[in-house]
Structure 1
Amino acid sequence: MRHSLGPLFRRATVGVLALAAVWAASSPPAAAPAAAPAPEAESLSFTERYRSLQHGGIVRAANASITCRAAQRPSCPDAQAGGSGVNGDFDMFYVDVDRDPNTYNSSRAEVRLPNGARVTYARLYWGGNLRVGEQKPPEDNGRVLIAEPGGEYKQLLADTLVGHRVMDGMDAFQASADVTQLLREGGAGLYTVAQINIAMGRSTAGAWGGWTLLVAYENPAEPLRHLAVRDGFTPLRSGTGQEIRLSGLGFAAGAWGRAGLVTYNGDRGTTGDSLTVTTGQTESVLTNSANPRDDVLNSTISEPGADAARVPAHANHLGYDSDVFDLGSGLQQAGDEATFRIRSQQDAAWAGVLFVAVDARR
C-alpha cells in the first residue's frame, strides 16, 4: 500500500531537525508541522561546504534506498551480489529494513569513529530519480527521516538549495542538511535513513537513489590534516565532466590523503568514466579494487580496508555510488593545490559531493 509522505512524516517523527538543522534533544514527542518545499535550482556549481585544519579526518556512512525486485531471478540476486546488471534492466523496488509500517523505504549504514574522536561537522546528503514507472511529486525532495543508533526517527529538512533537474529521461535531485548535533549525541554506530523521495518501477533511464552521511572529526592522536567538503549538483554530460579545484592545502611530497565521491546513475560495466587528481603537472587516475580506472561510476559503496557495515550490504547499488579512494601517487609532488576531475563518456550520471582529507605540510 502506498502512503502520502505528509502523514508518514508526522507519524514517524518524534523530533524535528529544521531548516537551520537545530535539534532539541529534550523536546517531547510532537507532530512535525507541515513545511514549505525547500527552494530548488536546476544546477548547483560545486562550492565549499566545510573546511578545517585539525588533527583528525572524515568518515562516511552510505547506502542505497532502492534495488531490483528479488523475484527477478537469477539476474537480480546476481546483480546485488556484484554482477554486471544495471538499473534500467530491472523493475526496481524500495529497500525497507526498519519493519516500520509507516515508512516505505529505509536503509542503514555504520558511522565508524576512532576512540577519542570528537565530531566537528556532519552533513547528510540524499537524492534520487522521481520519474521511472511512476512520477513522484517534488514537494518532498527536501525532507527525510533519520534515526541515530538505538534512537527514534526525526524529521530532517534540507537547509540549503535542492538541486533538481529534468534531463535525459530522469527527474533528478539532491538535497542535504547539517546533522552535526545529532552525530555529536548519537556517536558511532548504525544510522537509518528513510523516506527518500524516489520513484519505483522500470524505465530506460532506471530508478536510483540513496544517501551519504559525512562526518568530520577531531582526534589529537591523528596527524594534522586539511579537511574539505565541496558539494553541488551537475550532470556529467558526455566527456565534459566536472572540475573541482582545491587550493590552500599545503601538503608535502608523498603525503597521506583520501578523497571521497558521491555520484548518481553510474552503470556498472559502462566504461569511459573516471576520477583523476592533478598536482603540479601530474594527473593521476584514482582507482581501487572496487572501482576500475575507466568505470569508477559503477554503483559501488567502497572505502580503503574493510567496508563499514550496511543493511542491506549489496555489492551493486544499481545507480548509486559513494566511494573513498587513497590519493596515493596523486600526492607524490609537494604543493598547495589539487584539481579533481570527474568524467563520464557514456553514463548519464550526476555529481553531488567531493570530500578530501590530506596530511598538512609541517
Structure 2
Amino acid sequence: MLLECSMRPFDILRAVWDNKFLYILLMNLFFNAFEVSSQVTSPFNLRYHTQQRGGIQYVANAILSCKGCDAVNELPPYGKGNNNDFDMFFVDVDEDQTTFNSSSASLNLPDCSSISFVGLYWGAVGSPTNPRIKEKNRVKLGLPGKQSYIDLVADQDLGNFRNRHYQYFKDITSLVHTLPSPNGTFTVGNIVTDQGAKDLYAGWTIVVVFKNDLLPSRDLSVFDGFVPVVYPTRFDLNIGGFQTPPRGPVSLDFGVVAYDGERGIGGDRMLINNKPVFDILHDKDNVFNSTIAVNGEVAKNTSPALKNTLGYDASIIHLENSDFTYLKNNETSLVVTLETVKEDYFVGVLTSAIDNFNPDFKFQSQPVIGDKGNALLVPGETASFEYNLKNIGNDKSSITTFIDTIPDSFDFIKGSFEVKYDNESWIQLSQESKGGRYIKYSWETKRIEASLGAIASGDSVKVRYRAQVTSDLDKIKCAGSIISKYAWLQYYGNINTNWFSKEPSAAVIKNNCSLEGPVNILFDTQFGVKDTAINIYCSGTPVSDLHLPTGYALYKSDDVSFQHPLDKLGGSGVYKAYRKLSTGCEYSFNVIARADSVTIYSQPDNIEATVGSGVAFSVGIKGENVSFQWQVNKGTGTWEDIAGATERSLTIPKVTEEMDGYNYRLRITTPCKDYLLSVKVVLSVKKQPVSKPSEEPEPQPEVKDENVGALFVPNAFMPASNTQELRNFVVKGHGLAKWQMTIFNKWDQVIWKTDVIGADGSPAESWDGKMFGADAPQGAYMWAIEAVFEDGKEWEGMSVRDSKPRKSGVVYLLR
C-alpha cells in the first residue's frame, strides 16, 4: 500500500501513535530501512576521574516554570505536563535586585566528607534576538553561608545547537574549598534564556565528587559534552576511562543531565550496552521526564520545589547489574544509546559511580603517647605507636604488609612489635614466619616491614610498637617541635588480585572525623644546652674532663669559624662549645672557665662509742672531679685503704672492742692528680652501753635558752617510728630571723632544702626522708645550716660533747 502524504515520516508516527498495530508496523519499517543519527554539537569527553572511597551527588534546579499550573506538583513517573503546554517564565527565589532569575538547591554530604571536584553546568534555550544573549556564558553563584553572589564566567562552551540551545561549564572546586563546610544551599542566577512562550527550558546542575573514608571504594567518572537528540534518532555514544573490577560484582550508579525532556511525551530511551536504563521514577520508554532525583527519590531542599521541572532532568539512577548486562568485569568503556521517536532532547552530562571489588582498609593512627602519659615527648622517653586497621572492602586481602619508618630521633625497641586480631590477645611478631606473620626491621634504614597475613572483609587488626626518644637534645631541637611520619599498607586482593597501597588517616580529629595525613609526633623543645661555668683546678686541663654534651668540641672564643678545636684548656676565660649536625643545624654555648682549688671546709671529729653501736665520720669538701679514699691506722703506724670506703662519709655500722684507738682519715685526690688529707680522728670504744643509732632515738627536749634565739639539730630519725616526733628530721629552735638548711647525699647531691620560718621564729619544715620522690635508703646524710637570730647574731653551729661548734654535720636515717 502506497501512502502519499506531505507530512514528514515521523509526523505520520505522531498521527498514528494511538494505533498500536500501525505504529509497530511503521517503526519496524523505518528502523529496518535506515537509522537517523543525531547531530553531535560537542562530543563527550572525560572531565574528571578518580578511584576513592566516596561518591557523586547532584545539586540542581530548573530556572523556568509555568505560572500557577498544577503540573509542577506531578510526582514522577506520573503526570502529563509538558513545557509545550505552558508559557514559561523566570523563577526568581532571592530578593536580590541584581538577578532577573534565580533558583536554589542544597548539598548534604555525609559526615566526614571532603570535596574532590565540583563542576557547575548550566543550559537553556535562548534565541538570537534575546537582548541578554551575549551574556549567556555568565551566571551568578551564591555559596552556602555567603550573603552576596559571585559573578562567574564559563570555562568552556560545551555546545550550541541551531544557535538557540546551549550548555556551559565552570569548575568551582576551588571556590567550594574555601567554605568551612560544602554543605548548605547553593543559588544560581541570571541564566540567559527566553521566557513568555511555550517549549522553553533552562536549568543548572552542580556535580559534586566527594571523598569519604567511611564509604566503600568506587570508580568515579564525570563526562560532559552536548548531544542534541532530534527525533527520530537512535544514536550511540561511546564513553570510557573508568575501570570495572576484574572479578566479582559490578555495582553502579549512572547519572545524566538533560534538557527538554517531557513528562507527558514518551518514546525517549537511554540504554547502556543495549540494556534500557530505568528505575521507579523513570520509565524505560520515558527516561527523560523532567525529574531531579537520586536513586529513586525526588530531590529535597530545592527552591522552588518542582516535582515536574517542565523540561530539565538531573538524575542519578542505581542500575541492577547482578546479571552483568550493563557492565562486565574488566571493562573500561561502555556504549550509551540515546533513542527518541516523539520529542527532541539534549544530553549534557553523564556520570558513573562503580563499586570497586577489592580489599579496602580504614587505616587510622592513634595519638603518640609517651610512657609518662603525655603527648609532649621529652628526651629519653619511651613512646608507643599504635595503628587500627579494618578491612571495609568487599574482598579479602592477602600478603598484607604494614610498613613504617622510625624517625631519626627515635630508636626502635627490639621485641616490642605486637599485633592483635579480632577477639584475640596481643601477640608478639618475630622474624620467624608463623602462619604468614612475621616482622623484618632494618637497623640501618630504621624501616619496619610486618607481614600480617590475610585479613577478611570486615575484620580488624591492631598494630603497635615502642621506640625510645633520643637523649641527644640537639637532634630533637633540629627536628623541631613536630615530626611528621607516614606508615602505609601494601596488600593484594583475593578475588581481585591487583596490588594496593594505603596510607593511614592521621591522629588529628576534626569535626569527629579523622583527617588523612601523616602522624604528627610532638616534642617538648623547651630545653637545650645553656652557657655554663666551670672551675679549673689544674693548668692544661684536658677538654675530655669537661664532659661536654655529645658531639660538641671546644674552641677559643675568637675562633668564629670553628676551625681549630682544642684538646686542653689554656687557662681561665671564655670558650665556645660548638656542634654541627649532619642535617645542617648548628648549636653553640659559652664555657666560662674560672681558676679554683680543692679545699676542706669541714673536718671530721673524734668519736666515743660503745661496742655494737654505729658511728660515722664525714668531711666537707669544696671542689669538683675529686675522688675519696678512707684510710685506717690500727696502731701499727701504717695507713691502710678501707675497701669500698670511697665516699666523703665513712659509716661503721657496728663498732667492735678491737677498734678502740683506731685512727681514721680521708685521702682526697684532686683533678690535678695530687691529694689532700683530712685530719686524723680517733675512735674510742667503751664497754658500757649507750644509746645506739640503730635503735629508735629518744625524742628531743624543747629548746630552752636564755638567749634571744637557739637551734638544736638531732643526729637521727626514723620515718617508721611509732613516735610522731621521730618520723621526720626536725630541727628545733626559736628566735630565728632567717635560716637555710640543706641536706646532701653521699654523692654531694642536694636532696632537700628549706628556709621557711614559723610565726614564732622556729623552723617550720622538716625532712621526711624522701630523695627525688622516693624513700632514701638508710644511712648517714650531711646537713648544712646557715642562720641569723632576731637580735642579728649569727648562729655559730652545733657543739657535741664540748667540741668546737660546727654548721654542718651528719644525721642518721634509720629504716
| Same topology, TM > 0.5 | yes
The aligned counterpart of 1:224 is: 217
| CA shift in 2, pair 1:267/1:78, >3 Å | closer
The aligned counterpart of 1:314 is: 306
The aligned counterpart of 1:299 is: 290
- Rg comparison, structure with higher value: 2
Question: Aligned Cα RMSD in Å?
Answer: 2.0
Q: Do the aligned residues in 2 keep the contact of 1:120 with 1:217 (CA within 8 Å)?
A: yes
The aligned counterpart of 2:207 is: 214
Shift of 1:246: 2.2
SS of residue matched to 2:174: helix
Alignment of 1:85-164 (within 5 A): 85-131=81-127, 135-151=130-146, 152-164=148-160
| CA shift in 2, pair 1:150/1:58, >3 Å | same
The equivalent position to 1:172 in structure 2, one of 162, 165, 173, is: 165
Shift of 1:331: 6.6
Shift of 1:239: 1.8
| CA shift in 2, pair 1:330/1:44, >3 Å | farther
| CA shift in 2, pair 1:327/1:225, >3 Å | same
Pair 1:243-2:237 in alignment: yes
Give CA-to-partner distance per residue, 1:79-120, whole Å, 9 cap, x none: 443431111211111111011122111001111211111101
Between the two structures, name the one with larger relative contact order (CA 8 Å, sep ≥ 6): 1
Q: Structure 2 CA distance, aligned partners of 1:255 and 1:268?
A: 31
Give CA-to-partner distance per residue, 1:205-262, whole Å, 9 cap, x none: x110100000111111122211111100111122233413224412244332111101
The equivalent position to 1:202 in structure 2, one of 197, 205, 224, is: 197
Give CA-to-partner distance per residue, 1:146-169, whole Å, 9 cap, x none: 1111212001111123411227xx
Which amino acid in structure 1 is aligned with residue 270 of structure 2? L
Structure 1 spans left out of the alignment, 5+ residues: 1-41, 71-75
Which amino acid in structure 2 is aligned with residue 312 of structure 1? P
Q: Do the aligned residues in 2 keep the contact of 1:258 with 1:324 (CA within 8 Å)?
A: yes
Q: Structure 1 CA distance, aligned partners of 2:271 and 2:173?
A: 30
Count of residues paired in the alignment: 306
Q: Structure 1 CA distance, aligned partners of 2:158 and 2:266?
A: 29
SS of residue matched to 2:53: strand
Pair 1:84-2:80 in alignment: yes
Pair 1:325-2:317 in alignment: yes
SS of residue matched to 1:250: coil
Which amino acid in structure 2 is aligned with residue 250 of structure 1? T
Give CA-to-partner distance per residue, 1:139-198, whole Å, 9 cap, x none: 11211001111212001111123411227xxx1110010000222233111100000011
The aligned counterpart of 2:792 is: none
| CA shift in 2, pair 1:154/1:330, >3 Å | farther
Shift of 1:63: 0.2
Identity of aligned residues (%): 31
Which amino acid in structure 1 is aligned with residue 223 of structure 2? R
Q: Structure 2 CA distance, aligned partners of 1:230 and 1:295?
A: 22
Q: Do the aligned residues in 2 keep the contact of 1:227 with 1:356 (CA within 8 Å)?
A: yes
Q: Do the aligned residues in 1 keep the contact of 2:268 with 2:343 (CA within 8 Å)?
A: yes
Structure 2 spans left out of the alignment, 5+ residues: 1-39, 359-815
SS of residue matched to 1:139: helix
Query: Any runs of at least 4 consecutive aligned residues in structure 1 with deviations exceeding 6 A, and if so which?
Result: none
Q: Structure 1 CA distance, aligned partners of 2:84 and 2:188?
A: 24
Q: Do the aligned residues in 1 keep the contact of 2:270 with 2:338 (CA within 8 Å)?
A: yes
Q: Structure 2 CA distance, aligned partners of 1:99 and 1:85?
A: 29
Pair 1:273-2:271 in alignment: no
| CA shift in 2, pair 1:245/1:274, >3 Å | same
Shift of 1:289: 1.8
Q: Do the aligned residues in 2 keep the contact of 1:284 with 1:330 (CA within 8 Å)?
A: no
Alignment of 1:339-350 (within 5 A): 339-350=335-346
Which amino acid in structure 1 is aligned with residue 264 of structure 2? G
Shift of 1:341: 2.2
| CA shift in 2, pair 1:330/1:104, >3 Å | farther
Which amino acid in structure 2 is aligned with residue 313 of structure 1? A
Pair 1:190-2:185 in alignment: yes
